[in-house]
Amino acid sequence: MQGHCDESTLTEAGQLGASQAGVALQDLRFDAVYCSPFQRARETAGLILANLNHNAPPELQITENLREISLPLWEGLSFQEVEDQFPELYQCWRDRPHELQMPLVTPEGTENFYPVIALYEQAQKFWQEILPKHPGQTILAIAHSGINRCLISAAMDLGVIGYKALHQSNCGISILNFSGELGAPVQLESINLTAHLGEPLPHVRKGQRGPRLLLVRHGETDWNRQQRFQGQIDVPLNENGKTQSVQAAAFLKDFRIDRAVTSPMLRPKETAEIILQHHPQVTLEFNDNLVEISHGLWEGKLESEIEQEFPGELTQWQNHPETVQMPEGENLQQVWERAIAAWTHILDTTPPNPDGQTTTVLVTAHDAVNKAILCYLAGQPPEKFWTFKQGNGAVSVIDYPDGATGRCVIQAMNITTHQGSILDRTAAGAL
């Protein structure tokens, strides 16, 4: 347990990972770089900056608001020592970390405090201080697992309950797009990218009892490229979409896949079939609840045509999607209910592997359906629909460490690095 202890330094593997992160980020231009004051973070920052293609990279700014979580009772102990010496507290930390209390020594005396709540407030303070300074700019923040999870949770207003919902690997990269200061809409472009480390997907947690689900969005179609609303019109993949599916297939080919479920529509079905060429033993199943949202009379139309025929409704969809009833189509609550029903059915009907290994299920669907599933898994309501980005051919990784009925962990989200960039450069087209 490291926490506020500043005695640990990077291992050789840690130094390599930091350099690899720098290479992955080397073509991005950063307007500011912020870092935790602890030496393991500062060493990581130095190696990242050394690998950027900047003639004069921004000066490293140290901030106390990127410090790791404070765990004063445990710092310096191994996880096993903590579990042996503090069994009840450790169980609380594992299952309900936001409820964990610890004594904190202050100049005024000793008081109990909540480490995760304090860390979440620290993350909020970081965003409140730095976002107003950098409108329209790109900033790099280099910190630690716990504070990074709180930074993401605070950005999307998840609260402390989301602390265990998001995983952060050493030198994993997450990308957030802010529309303004804290409290304004934010898009999570990607969470915990690790392919630059030679780990296409984050490792399965030792002792995991439940399945791993790989949630994939279909490859590009011509209507994606044209930004034409597809909905339930059965548009096939275009050539680029087929290429994206081949790239996703190569990305996943060395991972065991035990089951595959797809929307029956052409574009996800084709994507799944291309991925499964490397897994011929898997039979592709269909679930009608995974079909894309019905846009009704919007389908087949460009945004300009929708605005002309249904003035004001497109803006409402973009700003308050949960309030929109598509003309002769669905509303978001209907999509929510059937997408969650599909996800739950997949979990309920996936048996454990007889050999004791983690069962892996491929789920291939659509932008709106995937967004609904991810919001649900993160405990977010329909009004947060636009928070999660889903690129064409993107892969998200969801684990169930305590079994299919337990709490899930979003290990990684919207991985598109197999398409050649750390950024999601897929079509920004309509659903």
The answer for residues whose C-beta is within 8 angstroms of residue 304's C-beta and 6 or more apart is none
Q: How far apart are CA 143 and CA 37, in angstroms?
A: 9
pLDDT of residue 74: 95
272-298: average pLDDT: 98
pLDDT computed for residue 90 by the predictor: 94
CB-based burial, 297-318: b 16+ in 10 Å, e otherwise: ebbebeeeebeeebeebbeebe
Q: Rounded to an integer, what distance in angstroms lies between the CA atom of residue 229 and that of residue 302?
A: 6
Output phi, psi for 84, to 5 deg. Answer: -70, -40
Residues whose CB is less than 8 angstroms from the CB of residue 387 and which lie 6 or more positions away in sequence, other chains included: 156, 185, 186, 187, 188, 371, 375, 380
Dist. CA 138–CA 67, nearest whole Å: 21
Q: How confident is the model at residue 429 (pLDDT cuts 50, 70, 90)?
A: low
pLDDT at 126: 98
Using alpha carbons, select from 102, 99, 98 the residue that is nearest to residue 163: 98
Q: Is the pLDDT of residue 428 over 80?
A: no
135 confidence band (pLDDT: 50, 70, 90)? very high
Between CA 372 and CA 267 the distance in angstroms is 19
Q: Which of 197, 280, 270, 286 is nearest to 237 (CA)?
A: 270
Looking at residues 87-94, what average pLDDT do you find? 94
- Report pLDDT for 361: 98
Res 430 pLDDT > 60: no
* Confidence at residue 205, expressed as pLDDT on a 0 to 100 scale: 85
DSSP assignment of 35-47: E-SSHHHHHHHHH
Say if residue 421's pLDDT is above 90. Answer: yes
Confidence of residue 162 (pLDDT cuts 50, 70, 90): confident
Got the DSSP string for 116-134?
Answer: HHHHHHHHHHHHHHHGGG-
pLDDT at 425 over 70: yes
- DSSP structure class, residue 227: T
For residue 142, pLDDT over 60 is answered with yes
pLDDT tens profile 231-257: 999 999 999 999 999 999 999 999 999
Of 151, 189, 148, which Cα lies nearest the Cα of 168? 148
The single-letter code of the amino acid at 364 is T
* Higher pLDDT pick, 419 / 161: 419
Rounded to the nearest angstrom, the gap between the alpha carbon of residue 326 and the centroid of all alpha carbons in its chain is: 28
Please classify residue 328 by burial: count the beta carbons closer than 10 Å to its beta carbon, then call 0-12 exposed, 13-18 middle and 19+ buried.
Answer: exposed
Whether the pLDDT of residue 293 is over 70: the answer is: yes
Q: For 56-78, how does the pLDDT look when each residue is reduced to its tens digit (9 = 90+)? A: 888 999 999 999 999 999 999 99
Do β-strands 360-365 and 259-262 pair in parallel, antiparallel, or remain unpaired? parallel
Quick one: pLDDT at residue 431? 60
Query: What Rg value do the Cα atoms of the chain yield, rounded?
Result: 22
Q: Determine the pLDDT at residue 206.
A: 85
Top pLDDT among 430 and 96 is at 96
| Position 289 pLDDT exceeds 90 | yes
Assign residue 266 a region: left if phi > 0, alpha if psi is -120 to 50, beta otherwise? Answer: alpha
Number of other residues whose CB lies within 10 A of the CB of residue 50: 11
pLDDT higher than 70, residue 370:
yes
Local confidence band at 172 (pLDDT 50, 70, 90 cut-offs): very high
CA distance 21 to 24: 5
**Exposure of 222 by Cβ count < 10 A (0-12 exposed, 13-18 middle, 19+ buried)?**
middle
In the structure, what pLDDT confidence band is assigned to residue 356 with cuts at 50, 70 and 90?
confident
Domains of the chain: 12-72+115-197 (3.40.50.1240), 212-419 (3.40.50.1240)
Q: In this predicted model, what pLDDT tens digit does every residue of 194-242 receive, in sequence order?
A: 999 999 999 998 889 999 999 999 999 999 999 999 999 999 999 999 9
399: CB partners within 8 A, 6+ apart: 167, 204, 205, 208, 210, 211, 212, 213, 358, 408, 409, 411
pLDDT of residue 390: 97
Q: What is the mean pLDDT of residues 374-393?
A: 95
Give the pLDDT confidence score for residue 354 in this predicted structure. Answer: 78
The pLDDT of residue 105: 72
Specify the 3-state DSSP secondary structure of 7: coil
